[in-house]
Structure 1
């Protein structure tokens, strides 16, 4: 079965990214109906909300965490690739896909707690994590919280703060304009769409996260910070995150964007698998440290 994923809902169920697929061609056609697979899909109540998740493959557990306004299906390229190598576990984040919202103030902290709850429910001794966009932020927060034993983290297109020191200025400007439109509709009593959810998702982008360098120092697991050289996140911000992690590697992919996991999954998956499958190393070019 093949399903065409609508790029309009990728990272936000609003029109901001509706033109993305016209500029950056992304693949969302899979033989398996990821995100709507009745053979493997399950619900579990975590922190007062029903969370929907699916599992594929066997072996070492690997969590896949999707971006803002997306769902399980958006990471189908990663499920396809990694399910032959790992026990892939992927969920719809709170309020997205099939998972319940059950809050009027959605936070990355809450979503991270939900994921830690899922890890506990599944009785996973240790995990690896691949997070894309918001998923990368959530992965970092799980590392900071240290509630689950994490072997390695891959954070694709993540940021520490929502301002223009971290994010290219056109992004928050566009998000803010859309949020103003939504609030006007809500004020007029418009109930034709789930405007409250859209407002909360936009709030994540506009007001969160707020992760300090001190917070990053709490992450014990090796982290791969990865992004495109024309990402939503500024290149210098990727470097900032990398430089403030105890154990990290940095990859800024040439000629790539925020959407590489779907537009060039071959490149993305290969880089990520190399990081996950090989022992962590952080060599140094400083020959003055080398023993003679």
Structure 2
């Protein structure tokens, strides 16, 4: 697919945004996970050629500037809303992976923009367990990240306008470990989501266990639930065909606007 790239400036950060697919098709806004980039969801795009596919690098990630504001999930939701406005997206469906899924939940709950629906993939609806925070999120370092993710780290170094992986991971660590009210969505926020929703999880995800995925789906009125067998946290990348099939089924039953 041919890609068009642009920068959208919002709240002190220039965000890298890319468009692919059919410009006249129904709009989808893809939101990637923490520490990644829009490239992480590229494997899904061949399945949505009839849609206007908009992808954004979260602030500090990929080709987007970090800015000076703290990373919070409500901030990421506001960034997504700014992209929706700047791109003139009418009732888009948000397709969010991990951190991107949490941002989608916040955007849907806030109700500041009209959404056609949301799809969350491997997203938390409540703060992670203390064990996950203490043994995984609180232990992340730049050197360890580079060792685990050499390809994405090299891409970050190459395309970010001011690459500083140590600073980015420090901010991400604070984001992931921030259990203060209002960072992760709570039950009251989830109850305010009125647009159609699909909650997808991997049944072998050690970061977001399937019980948490089920609880998230049950917290959103009318939400559909899907669990991918044998899938870990990164199933949108490792199982794009199965992931896309679930999303396609969800999109097919949305009311036509």
TM-score bucket of the superposed structures, by smaller chain: 0.7 to 0.9
CA displacement at 1:201 relative to structure 2: 1.1
* 1:209-288 → structure 2 map (5 Å cutoff): 209-231=183-205, 232-279=207-254
CA displacement at 1:173 relative to structure 2: 0.9
Deviations 1:210-251 (A, max 9, x none): 211111111111111110101120211111111111120111
- From 154, 169, 181, the equivalent of 2:119 is 154
CA displacement at 1:163 relative to structure 2: 3.2
User: Which is helix-richer, 1 or 2?
Assistant: 2
Secondary structure class of the residue paired with 2:192: coil
Secondary structure class of the residue paired with 1:150: coil
Assess, with a 3 A threshold, how the Cα gap between structure 1 residues 180 and 86 changes in structure 2: closer, same or farther. closer
* 1:41 matched to 2:5: yes
CA displacement at 1:181 relative to structure 2: 9.0
* 1:92 matched to 2:57: yes
CA displacement at 1:89 relative to structure 2: 0.3
CA displacement at 1:194 relative to structure 2: 3.5
* 1:65 matched to 2:31: yes
Secondary structure class of the residue paired with 1:197: helix
Partners of 1:152 and 1:40 in 2: CA distance: 24
Secondary structure class of the residue paired with 2:230: strand
Task: Report the count of equivalent residues.
Answer: 231
Deviations 1:184-213 (A, max 9, x none): xxxxxxxx9532221001222121542111
Q: Which runs of 5+ in 1 are unaligned?
A: 1-31, 183-191, 281-292
Using structure 1 for the length normalisation, give the TM-score: 0.74
Q: Which has the higher contact order (CA 8 A, sep 6+)?
A: 2
- From 37, 53, 56, the equivalent of 2:20 is 56
- Name the structure 1 match of 2:92: 127
Q: Cα RMSD between the aligned structures?
A: 2.2
Deviations 1:35-88 (A, max 9, x none): xx8x61111212221111010112111001000011111111112221x12100
* 1:177 matched to 2:139: yes
Partners of 2:46 and 2:254 in 1: CA distance: 24
Secondary structure class of the residue paired with 1:221: coil
Secondary structure class of the residue paired with 2:84: helix
Partners of 2:51 and 2:107 in 1: CA distance: 20
- Contact 2:141 2:166 (8 Å CA) reproduced: no
- Contact 1:62 1:89 (8 Å CA) reproduced: yes
- Contact 2:197 2:222 (8 Å CA) reproduced: yes
- Contact 1:172 1:205 (8 Å CA) reproduced: no
Secondary structure class of the residue paired with 2:89: coil
Larger Rg: 1
Q: Which runs of 5+ in 2 are unaligned?
A: 145-162
Structure 1: 4+ residue segments shifted above 6 A: none
